[in-house]
């Protein structure tokens, strides 16, 4: 195993290439039973994915990526922003542990190819301006970014590594729905001017989420065909400009917002874009396939948008690689189903990442728990079964039962069985996790029905998720920062 500081930096962040159709993928680790990182890396390589955006610096993930030649965008989680904002020493510690040591000593099995035009990025925060967060992270973003930049400068790495801040889809709006009227949220206007000034000074792009699915959900004037790049979709007109799809409409709304505060030419990276496949109406694999294919064709055409003709985003990262059953569902149950692949690395639909004509390749030699399921015992009094199912769903993933979801049409007590099985699998098929007061029954007969999959969980070598393991290491980092500050220690 490589030393933590070595593989923590690995290949930092995105290659800012000259090709307009550079396509990567987001890899999140909010899963109770994650597919082992080495298998995920093999999945990426099998599908010729050359760029990956991470949301943190998970050591297990970075170790697996070591030597893979996959270019990585490394993120700093929102939970670290307050510390990095308030302490220059904490920022220097982060830079030292994750950047300086790597550049000073190299890394076992890790190489970063430096060629002209290749730049690397640290993404400070994960959509910290999301409106639902309120002021939870907002006040700390700019200070954290500036402290990380200062730390890189002190380490003589400012020319090698750039700092960016991923912004959510709701940072910019247009009340009329017309791109020309686009502007940043009023509560963010001052912050955005500070951020854009910072990014421009350091020649960094603007990272942003574009979400046609959520736009379609929230705006009755946007049709499904318009969201899916369909040729027969009703066009939207804005003065003399014609918009044929939702992506261009959102993108130019952002361009207008940037122009209004004095940054009309800044480069844009679409840091997150996708279409979910479950947990809501119109969140299906077939619709997601249509969207992704339409998006990739549009990017490959290099036509750009009406406000930026022949100037599409410099990079685009599809969201997401795998489903994640521990993602927050505050925005909707679909949040756990953005994956191009299921949680176990099986392709949900057909397309490719623009590397030829072949379809997606599944993860190989995946290890599962035993082929057993937990279902409701129909020979018992089921009058209280619904209460037991609700309790099971409070800690496990039952989002497929949502209206419009893949399991929304199974009748009672099939939905009870689904809830029981979700809890049973999350708890590693422990016999007591299929008790439910005597209402549960373990079976070796697959109860899946039509599109409703009763899953069997992955076999993992430990019960702690990758995300939880990283939280532990982050606590160690924060404690180290605290002691450094108390002792007046500098690197």
Active site residues: 127
For residue 486, with 0-12 CB atoms within 10 Å meaning exposed, 13-18 middle and 19 or more buried, which class applies?
exposed
* CA 60 to each of CA 129, 419, 481: distance values in angstroms, whole numbers, following the listed order: 28, 31, 22
Q: Which residues pair with residue 433 across a beta bridge? A: none
Cα dihedral 95/98/100/105 (nearest 10): 170
Asked whether the bond before 413 is cis by omega within 30 degrees of 0, the reply is: yes
For residue 319, which of 465, 460, 128, 127 has the smallest C-alpha distance? 127
Report strand pairing: 315-318 vs 22-27: parallel
How far is Cα 448 from Cα 373, in angstroms, rounded to an integer? 10
Orientation of helix 189-201 relative to helix 141-154, angle to 10°: 10
For residue 468, which of 10, 35, 32, 98 has the smallest C-alpha distance? 32
Instruction: Give the DSSP per-residue string, 324-357.
Output: -TTS--TT-GGGG---SB-TTS-BSS---SSSSS
């998720």: which residue's tokens?
465
Query: Which tokens is 346 given?
Result: 């099986």
Which CB contacts under 8 angstroms, 24+ apart, belong to 378-381? 378/413, 380/438, 380/439
Query: Which tokens is 302 given?
Result: 């290099």
How far is Cα 319 from Cα 211, in angstroms, rounded to an integer? 10
C-beta separation of 84 from 92 below 8 A? no
For residue 144, which of 200, 79, 73, 100 has the smallest C-alpha distance? 79
The full length of the chain comes to 491
């409070």: which residue's tokens?
394
User: Quick one: how far is CA 16 from the chain centroid?
Assistant: 19
41 by DSSP, 3-state: which? helix
Residue 88: which H helix or E strand, with range? helix 88-95
Instruction: Give the DSSP per-residue string, 255-270.
Output: HHHHHHTT-TT--EEE
Cα dihedral 454/282/51/191 (nearest 10): -120
């Amino acid at each position: 195993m490589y030393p933590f500081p070595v593989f923590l930096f690995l290949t930092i962040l995105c290659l800012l290439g000259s090709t307009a159709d550079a396509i990567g993928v987001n890899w999140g680790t909010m899963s109770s039973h994650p597919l082992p990182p080495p298998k995920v890396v093999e999945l990426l390589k099998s599908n010729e994915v050359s760029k990956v955006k991470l949301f943190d610096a998970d050591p297990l993930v970075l170790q697996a990526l070591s030597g893979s030649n996959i270019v990585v965008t490394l993120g700093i989680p929102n939970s670290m922003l307050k510390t990095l904002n308030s302490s220059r020493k904490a920022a220097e510690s982060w830079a030292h542990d994750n950047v300086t040591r790597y550049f000073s000593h190299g890394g076992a099995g890790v190489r970063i190819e430096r060629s002209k035009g290749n730049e690397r990025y640290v993404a400070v925060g994960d959509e910290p301006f999301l409106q639902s967060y309120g002021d939870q992270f907002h006040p700390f973003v700019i200070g954290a970014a500036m402290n990380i930049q200062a730390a890189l400068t002190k380490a003589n790495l400012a020319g090698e590594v750039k700092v960016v801040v991923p912004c959510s889809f709701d940072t910019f709006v247009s009340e009329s729905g017309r791109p020309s009227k686009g502007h940043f949220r009023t509560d963010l206007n001052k912050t955005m001017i500070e951020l854009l000034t910072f990014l421009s000074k350091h020649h960094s792009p603007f990272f942003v989420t574009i979400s046609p699915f959520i736009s379609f959900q929230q705006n009755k004037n946007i049709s499904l065909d318009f969201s899916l790049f369909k040729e027969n979709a009703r066009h939207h007109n804005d003065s003399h400009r014609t918009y044929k799809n939702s992506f261009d409409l959102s993108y130019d709304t952002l361009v207008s917002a940037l122009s209004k505060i004095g940054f009309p030419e800044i480069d844009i990276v679409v840091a997150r874009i996708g279409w979910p496949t479950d947990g809501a109406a119109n969140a299906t694999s077939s619709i997601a396939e249509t969207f992704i294919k339409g998006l990739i064709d549009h990017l490959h055409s290099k036509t750009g948008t009406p406000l930026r003709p022949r100037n599409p985003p410099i990079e685009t990262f599809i969201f997401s690689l795998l489903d994640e059953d521990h993602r927050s569902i505050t925005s909707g149950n679909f949040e756990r189903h953005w994956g191009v692949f299921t949680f176990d690395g099986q392709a949900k639909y057909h397309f490719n990442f623009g590397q030829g004509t072949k379809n997606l390749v599944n993860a190989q030699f995946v290890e599962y728990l035993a082929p057993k399921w937990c279902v409701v015992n129909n020979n018992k009094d089921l009058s209280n079964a619904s209460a037991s199912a609700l309790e099971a769903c409070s800690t496990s993933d039952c989002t497929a039962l949502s209206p419009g979801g893949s399991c929304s049409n199974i009748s009672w007590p099939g939905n009870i069985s689904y809830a029981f099985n979700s809890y049973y699998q999350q708890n590693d098929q422990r016999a007591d996790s299929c008790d439910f007061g005597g209402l549960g029954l373990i079976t070796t007969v697959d109860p899946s029905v039509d599109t409703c999959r009763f899953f069997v969980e992955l076999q993992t070598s430990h019960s702690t998720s990758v995300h939880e393991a990283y939280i532990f290491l982050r606590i160690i980092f924060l404690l180290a920062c605290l002691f450094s500050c108390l002792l007046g220690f500098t690197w």
